[in-house]
Structure 1
């Protein structure tokens, strides 16, 4: 029996996340635009599939008017999404933020968590799956080119939802913050929570 795209993606996902299929639920859906991970009470991953609307193929907010010429980019983006989500399934432990997030602006707090965990995921993929990570970087560059081109043409119907919004880094030593994130221990969360506080209150003060 011939493997489907979902079968291949399923295998890649669990190879990277190093978890059993009984531990995580993963769904491939045409009805969503962007990947989504629900960490609690059980990790559940929702991955968008390319879909056709008005004879255009849409994936992750980008409209491809010609599937044949754009299919390599479309499926490369799909591959990158699977790898990134699997990296989070391997690395991210949302429980360590559970107490920290209470009483805070939820949107802002999640933005901080995603920023921190993205750094850890990228480091994990770069070290454990360097070939995949190199391809993901190439895909990211392609994404930037497509978005820049669409902005110039002013005809985008969708805007790529960034996994992490930009922070106000002018007053922060971002390289040092990244280093501290990567040096933080999974056994103790004190250092990570200090970084989360720094990012959260820096952004809050900027907006106040």
Structure 2
């Protein structure tokens, strides 16, 4: 069961596309206004989220007057965009048109190709998703009814109305011929031929797009779409409502989370606190190259003992009589007959903080893979009562995983969505992470700082760095620095430089083991 808007949206797209997650990158950029599709390897799908503006709602360039009244309409359009995007990821291959596309108007040629591919998507959905397609067809019909009213309002006379009606009939006839041709003969050669016919008869492209489609250009009619009223049915209605409920729930949670981090960041110099963008496809692309490292770090870190008892002896606890009898009868020293009455590990709190500034660009992808490895290890060993978080920083502080959040596909998508830019406020990131750890009841606290050690952004940054080190020390926080030069080792509990991910994983396991076992 998917529990958040990004997870469910991406899952619907992957299901419709029926392709590996590594082949599709799904993102939800905060400032995006219109759905964007970019074809290639991988296919890139950028989804705009509905935006709340007082009591109004903005989606795909349409400003609906009331969030409540437009609820089913907005989320029907959003869900339709997921099926539309997933369908394109499944069937569209723009490389077919590459040679034909040359020496043509890029805008018109792209629109002609899109027209052909949209028909192919509709045929694809027809064979697999009857209820969603039925709802999508109803959306189209409702939009066309509105467009007729819109035309009636702007045309001055019945004569103009009749002329426009005749012209639209001609367009509709041409479009139906194209649809029939694609349905009966869906070959690369025929697609190119039809795209060429549409290019030459560009009037058939129309003046507006359905509001769930990609790469929309706003028109006067776009504003009129605020009067659209949709009542979805069946499975489509269920998912539309679920997406909308998740959106409302997430707005509340994010507002609460932002308030918490604003308090943690008081007196610090970050320009803003923000959520990381999401890209689950990129996460899985990175994971393909990191599978062995993930297995290694999960296995080795989970075997680290941080309590006085040695888990390898297992010679303490309550006697389990059946095993004791077996051990005596077989005279074997290899059978343990003690049942441990306490955990072998004390719970810990981890704050993982990664530098995402411009100076990290060269080694960023490598350390992003390492971050993925350490996240998997954190999830493995802190699943009972330990807490762990991930954050990024530059001159902004980026929320990736809060202590209270589950390590699910949304968090993985945030790791995949990280990018490198900006200045490097290392001291401020350390102070914020230390404040978080101070609030936690676990006594064993770790700050894992992933950085190249190059700090820049304001004049007093060196003094603030020393202040951050002192604050962590007083709070009993162990700072393990990954990626810093050897000359900075005196500042941290343990530190080591980054050369390649294999060595960095091995060095991390050694560093963590040495610090964890200091408590024994």
TM-score category of the 2 structures, normalised to the smaller one: 0.7 to 0.9
Distance in 2 of aligned mates of 1:176 and 1:29: 38
Given the superposition, is the C-alpha separation of residues 124 and 175 from structure 1 closer, same or farther in structure 2, using an over 3 Å criterion? same
* 1:18 paired to 2:18: yes
Given the superposition, is the C-alpha separation of residues 133 and 195 from structure 1 closer, same or farther in structure 2, using an over 3 Å criterion? same
Deviations 1:26-62 (A, max 9, x none): 1123322221101135310011100023542101122
Name the counterpart of 1:184. Answer: 185
Q: Post-superposition shift, 1:168? A: 10
Given the superposition, is the C-alpha separation of residues 128 and 193 from structure 1 closer, same or farther in structure 2, using an over 3 Å criterion? same
Distance in 1 of aligned mates of 2:199 and 2:68: 44
Q: Post-superposition shift, 1:14? A: 0.7
Q: Give secondary structure in 1 for the equivalent of 2:182.
A: helix
Give TM-score scaled by structure 1 length: 0.79
Greater alpha carbon shift after TM alignment, 119-128 vs 46-55: 46-55
Given the superposition, is the C-alpha separation of residues 137 and 174 from structure 1 closer, same or farther in structure 2, using an over 3 Å criterion? closer
Name the counterpart of 1:80. Answer: 80
Greater alpha carbon shift after TM alignment, 137-146 vs 20-29: 137-146
Contact kept in structure 2, 1:48 and 1:60, CA below 8 Å? yes
Aligned-pair RMSD on alpha carbons? 3.0
Alignment of structure 1 residues 18-97 onto 2, 5 Å: 18-53=18-53, 55-97=55-97
Name the counterpart of 1:193. Answer: 192
Given the superposition, is the C-alpha separation of residues 149 and 69 from structure 1 closer, same or farther in structure 2, using an over 3 Å criterion? farther
Given the superposition, is the C-alpha separation of residues 13 and 194 from structure 1 closer, same or farther in structure 2, using an over 3 Å criterion? same
Name the counterpart of 1:129. Answer: 129
Q: Post-superposition shift, 1:85? A: 0.7
Q: Post-superposition shift, 1:79? A: 0.3
Distance in 1 of aligned mates of 2:129 and 2:172: 33
User: Which residues of structure 1 form unaligned runs of 5+?
Assistant: 155-165
Q: Post-superposition shift, 1:149? A: 7.3
Q: Give secondary structure in 2 for the equivalent of 1:40.
A: coil
> Computing the radius of gyration over CA atoms, which structure comes out larger, 1 or 2?
2
Contact kept in structure 1, 2:2 and 2:8, CA below 8 Å? no
Distance in 1 of aligned mates of 2:61 and 2:148: 13
* 1:203 paired to 2:202: yes
Give TM-score scaled by structure 2 length: 0.34
Name the counterpart of 1:163. Answer: none
Distance in 2 of aligned mates of 1:87 and 1:62: 24
Distance in 2 of aligned mates of 1:197 and 1:172: 17
* 1:6 paired to 2:42: no
Given the superposition, is the C-alpha separation of residues 7 and 25 from structure 1 closer, same or farther in structure 2, using an over 3 Å criterion? same
Aligned length: 191
Contact kept in structure 2, 1:37 and 1:45, CA below 8 Å? yes
